[in-house]
Chains A and B, each alone.
Chain A
Amino acid sequence: MGNHSDGSPSHSGTVATAGQNEVEKFQDPGLPPHRLRLADTDPRAAKRAERQVAILFGASIVGTFIFLVAYFAIDLGDSSIATIRTQNLLLGLGTAFAMLGIGTGIVHWAKALMPDHEVSEERHAIRHEEDRQAAVRIVDDIVEETGIKRRPLIRNTLIGAIALAPLPAVAIFGDLGPRPDDKLAHTMWAPQDGKLKRLTRDPDGTPIKASDVTIGSAFHVIPEGLNELHEGKLNEKAKAVVLLMRLNPESLNPSPGREDWGYNGIVAYSKICTHVGCPVALYEQQTHHLLCPCHQSTFDLTQECKVIFGPASRPLPQLPIAVDAEGYLVATSDFKEPVGPSYWERDQHERQINS
């Protein structure tokens, strides 16, 4: 491939084929002649452009005043949204005028009144060969003077030292967080001192009676005692939130071993999506589908929350529930598997829980 401006012999063929680079080319005619602007020839046009620029700068001054007036004259004391909106609008428009006035003024000035001759500047080689040679000589001299090539002992120990030196800088971040251990495998639903946890309403924490849950209802549930936690409340909530629904007992098809996890058609499932952890809170009471609003994973309640659409791969974990002596719903145990998104040790934890 030759340089595009090579003056190769003319070629009469009209079809350029592979390997034929010698086709004659059009010669560069050079920069087109400069065209004068109205303001270059007509002094009145120049005067007009000058006035326009001044008006734009004037608009900027007005904008600055609008801003200042809006800032000092509008009192947010009455805390009405309309006031805030008005102030925001005026502050913004003031700024916009102030900025656009200056900007358009300067540009108009440059376009209409400053010289508009395009000029051509030569490009220079980014690197000259003699510079390269000089640089190589200098580097050679430096290397020679350090003697690093002649003294491999120094070189090798230095490399070793530098390679190891960053390790403390990595290690010092070891306390960024605690070890995960099996924290992800347990939630607040585990019975405490033999006492089963009641299902309570989110957000107020009042317990729920089985009779409260009518067919078609969906209750957003947190474990008893969550609101009283002083530390790590949100951490526990992030694992323990549950959706409680009641449907016709005939439409539920519990698998062996899970027949007594619900009560009279009332079932509780973890609200934390098994995909990446959004709350799967959309319950369609007629189709019995649960939908995650973040990535549209869809779970079928009548098939123990099996995934029927979307990116999740695993059913939502079910919370085994029953009714206590006073008629309140309680969790008979913690979840039988870790809730929420999958993680590397998840299967290990699941086996641990069920052993």
Chain B
Amino acid sequence: MSAKSTAEAPFVAKTKVGRVTDFVDSRVGGSPILREFGRKVFPDHWSFMFGEVALYSFIILLLSGTFLTFFFDPSMAETHYQGSYTPLYNVEMSVAYSSSLNISFDIRGGLFMRQVHHWAALLFVASLGVHMLRVFFTGAFRRPREMNWVVGGVLLILAMAAGFTGYSLPDDLLSGNGLRIIDGVIKSIPVIGTYTSFFLFGGEFPGTAIIGRLYVLHILLVPALILLMIVIHLFMVVIHKHTQYPGPGRNDGNVVGYPLGPVYAAKAGGFFFIVFGVIAIMAAAFTINPIWNYGPYDPSPVSAGTQPDWYIGFVDGALRLMPGVVNGFHFEYVIFGYTLTLNVLLPALVPAGIIFTVLFMYPWIERWITKDDREHHVLDRPRNAPTRTAIGVAGFTWYCVMWAAAGSDLIATHFHVSLNDVTYWLRALFFLGPVIAFVVTKRVALALQRKDREIALHGRETGRIVRLPHGEFIEVHAPLDEYKRYKLVGFESPSVLPAVPNEHGIVTRKEKRRAALSKWFFEDRVAPATPAELEAAHGHAHHEAIETAEQKSLSH
């Protein structure tokens, strides 16, 4: 590692390892890379680990998936199962399903690898989702990271595509009915729907081509794109350096944390094994996708509780919530002699379209409203950006309503309520849920800010009640040290930005709209406590218990 040539005498390594290292280093230039990255600083916080969970799940997916490809045969040719699972013996099925059963029952460790692969897939998408929520709620998508936010969104879509194409491969009854739903959705697309369906399935549904085609997408195209996106994503992380939470000694000009070598590398490297271990426990003890229960795909049967994997659930839920007929109005109607199926088209495309459009646009929307084009490397605590947090929770609530709708039948059976009532309630929540979530979240965030203010000015409640000489009882508050206090006060609280005229002296309509949104964004704000306020609070320290209410300064 000390292979560094000096100008005077060429470096000669002493040990064998040293000579090999020097040989490689002098040909690829490893030293400058190590010099640049060997001590690179990474901030430490548990919520920063979800991206790593996703990355590690993806590596585990590649490893277990490679094993599975050695035994899986994506053919849809007919065969009679001759393997060792007797409840399906001699049943007519596709080669794909038969080879999936063989992986499960006749190849040692095959079932384990299948379960590792599927659990890792569910965890992959879940950790991506949580990572994006973390990035959103802490404002980590702001300049200079807008493009990386978009790359992350693309990764989420690719992960869903990878998951769905994989879910369909075993050609079991559950995934076959899933494909049938996809076919129905594709057919609802105006003009090109029927052709698209025939092109995808190589003719009529189900045909004999779809498993092979999905297989190529699943093991080649989609993972290659995911890998490409991961490389771009990490490249940008290196350029931007990691964000950090606000706190003493942390600002937009520095990054505080542990050096890559050895501490951070050890923690991050060790974490890979931990993620692998957790997935292994799940695969060891918990069945996932029991394809032997579902039987081979056949267009006639169907199982109660037919659902997609969780990440497609919100689309399935939207399909369930949409009424086909409202007060005699049919959402399917004939227009110029052609059939328009809005009862399928709207729920399948609109909610997902809105969610992903807003998700991709959000950094620019917020930048436009706040006119904030500075670089941000210090994160917002979610409570310190109440409107953004409320928007995020409202959107997530909307997603969750659709998500829950995908399990409406199971909600009905497990809570002994009527399936129809569950649907009616969720239909109402589809519209009301996000509004309620927005209002409640914003209020909670503002309340937490006020709480922070109070603690910063008056210290923590100790629970100790003291009686003063003149008989008054007060609770003793323990003052904070300056580091803890700075954590509570060291944030920005932007105020409303009124409309300003442009260079021609005109306030454009767009600018007026922006100003209105800015008002909506920043109208309710709690300013961070200031030293002067602290001074004032200390002056009244002896009867602060009764005065705290008046000390709160909240501006509207």
Direct contact of A and B (CB under 8 A): yes
Binding site for B on A (CB under 8 A): 1, 3-5, 10-12, 14-21, 23-26, 28-32, 71, 74, 76, 79, 84, 87-93, 95-107, 109-111, 114-116, 118-123, 126, 173, 176-180, 183-184, 202-203, 220, 222, 232, 234-235, 237-239, 241, 271-273, 275-279, 281-282, 293-297, 307, 309-314, 340-348, 351
Q: List 9 A-B contacts (CB under 8 A).
A: A26-B529, A31-B256, A88-B111, A92-B112, A177-B198, A238-B206, A241-B300, A293-B302, A341-B188
**Residues on B close to A: CB < 8 A?**
40-41, 44, 84-86, 104-106, 108-109, 111-112, 115-116, 144, 177, 180-181, 183-185, 187-195, 197-207, 209, 239-241, 248-249, 251-259, 262-263, 266-267, 269-278, 280-281, 283-285, 297-306, 316, 319-325, 330-332, 334, 337-341, 343-344, 347, 371-372, 374-375, 377, 408-409, 419-420, 423, 482-483, 485-486, 489-490, 492-498, 525, 527-533, 536, 551, 553-555
| Distance, CA A32 to CA B484, complexed state (A) | 9
Q: Which residue from A5, A102, A237, A310 sits with its C-beta under 8 Å from B299?
A: A237
Contacts A32-B249, A106-B266, A347-B334; is A15 near B553 (CB within 8 Å)? yes
Chain A residue contacts of B180, Cβ below 8 A: 238, 276-278
**Minimal beta-carbon separation of B11 from chain A (angstroms):** 28
Whether A296 contacts B408 by the Cβ 8 Å rule is: yes
Contact A120 B181 (CB under 8 A): no
A120 CB contacts on chain B under 8 angstroms: 41, 249, 254-256
Q: For A122, give the chain B residue with the smallest CB separation.
A: B254
- Give complex CA distance A98, B377 in Å: 38
Select which of B190, B207, B258, B321 is within 8 A of A118 by beta carbon.
B258
Contact at B319–A17, with CB atoms within 8 Å?
no
Contacting pair B283 A92 (CB below 8 A) = yes
A345 to B198, CA, bound (A): 13
Answer whether A344 and B193 are a contact pair too, CB < 8 Å, given A110-B267, A234-B299, A276-B184: yes
Nearest CB in chain B to that of A95: its residue: B280
For A282, give the chain B residue with the smallest CB separation.
Answer: B304
Contact present for B347 and A110 (CB under 8 Å): no
How far is A231 from B256 in the complex, measured between Cα atoms in Å? 67
Complex partner residue of A107 from B197, B198, B202, B274, CB under 8 angstroms: B274
Q: Which residue of A lies closest to B372 (CB)?
A: A1
Inter-chain contact B41/A119, CB cutoff 8 Å: yes
Q: A25-B528, A88-B111 are in contact. Are A344 and B194 (CB under 8 A)?
A: yes
Tell me the complex Cα distance, A105–B270, Å: 8
Closest 5 CB pairs of A and B: A92-B284, A276-B184, A103-B273, A106-B270, A100-B277
Chain B residues with CB below 8 A from A12, complex form: 532
What A residues does B263 contact at CB under 8 A?
110, 114-116
B482 and A29: CB pair below 8 A?
yes
Kindly state the separation between the CA atoms of A239 and B207 in the bound complex, as whole angstroms.
12
B270: A residues at CB distance < 8 A: 102-107, 110
* Smallest CB gap from A79: residue in B: B84
* Distance from A24 Cβ to chain B, minimum over Cβ atoms (Å): 5
Q: Do B253 and A76 touch (CB < 8 A)?
A: no
Within 8 Å by CB of B115, from A3, A88, A90, A312, lies: A88
Contacts of B202 in A (CB 8 A): 176-178
A11: B residues at CB distance < 8 A:
530, 532
**Given A92-B284, A123-B377, A313-B332: A29 in contact with B486 (beta carbons within 8 A):** yes
The SS class assigned to the A binding surface is loop
Cα distance A275–B197 in the bound complex, in angstroms = 16
A91 touches B253 (CB 8 A): no
Q: Within the assembled complex, what's the spacing in Å between the Cα atoms of A96 and B486? A: 42
In the complex, the answer to whether B306 meets A104 with C-beta atoms within 8 Å is: no
- Are B40 and A121 touching (Cβ within 8 A)? yes
Contact of B490 with A293 in the complex, beta carbons under 8 Å: no
Contacts of A4 in B (CB 8 A): 252, 492
- Whether A96 touches B203, Cβ cut-off 8 Å, given contacts A276-B184, A277-B180, is no
Instruction: Note all chain A residues with C-beta closer than 8 A to B191.
Output: 344
Q: Which one of A26, A183, A279 contacts B300 once the chains associate, using CB atoms below 8 Å?
A: A279
**Listed residue (B116, B180, B188) with the most chain A CB atoms within 10 angstroms of its CB:** B180
CA of A18 to CA of B316, assembled, Å: 46
A99's closest neighbor in chain B, by CB?
A: B277
- B267/A26 in contact, CB under 8 A: no
CB-CB under 8 A for A276 and B319, given A88-B111, A180-B195, A342-B188:
yes
A344, B185: Cβ atoms under 8 Å?
no
**Which A residues are CB-close (under 8 A) to B203?**
177-178, 183, 235
The interface residues of chain A lying within 8 Å CB-to-CB of B262 are 110, 114
